[in-house]
Amino acid sequence: MTWDLELLEDVRTENGVVVAANKETMKIEACGKAILHPACQKYGAEIPVHDVQFIPHLSTNLLSVVQIVKKGFKGVFQSSGCEIYNTQGKLVATGVVENDLFKLEQLEGAGHGASQAMLSSAIASAETWHKSLGHLNYNSEK
């Protein structure tokens, strides 16, 4: 999911909503392909991510751990960071912990928004939802 339409290629209109932990809904306006530029990849290899939803009211771009695993990737998550491996067992991305989210390490200047991808699990703290919902007050998140 992204708040930044400029990150997407092959954009198509999509209707729907995402329900946040506080039961608030955010409108999905479009869907497309985003390109990741993991710092651990030699020669600036790109990883396409398909079916990325454009949700203007997000304040952080999010990648779903569940969706990554469903596509056959393996994630190793530790308190210091994470590693993502492809279906052949090759390391394809790494991340560090930042504000209770795993932030993918991406090449600087590799593209618009290249350093803005965060990994999200199904279980999130109030602080995480606070950030992803555009800094609503905590009372609205309960």
Domains of the chain: 5-141 (2.40.70)
Q: In this structure, which amino acid lies at residue 48?
A: P
- Name the pTM for this structure: 0.69
Instruction: Find the length of the chain.
Output: 142
Q: What is the largest CA-CA distance in the chain?
A: 47
pLDDT digits (tens, 9 = 90+) for 81-133: 999 998 999 898 898 888 788 888 877 655 544 445 555 444 344 454 445 44
Residue 23 DSSP one-character state: S
Q: In this structure, which amino acid lies at residue 110?
A: A
Residue 126 tokens read as 């109030």
Averaged pLDDT score across all residues of the chain: 77
69: left (phi over 0), alpha (psi -120 to 50) or beta: alpha
Give buried/exposed letters for 23-55 (b at 16+ CB in 10 A, else e). eeebebbbbbebbbbbbbbeeeeebebeebbbb
**Cβ pair 117, 103 in contact under 8 A:** yes
**Mean pLDDT (whole number) for 37-58:** 83
The pLDDT score that the predictor gives to residue 103 is 85
**Mean pLDDT (whole number) for 45-72:** 85
The pLDDT score that the predictor gives to residue 29 is 94
The pLDDT score that the predictor gives to residue 10 is 94
Q: How far apart are the C-alpha atoms of 76 and 21, rounded to whole Å?
A: 25
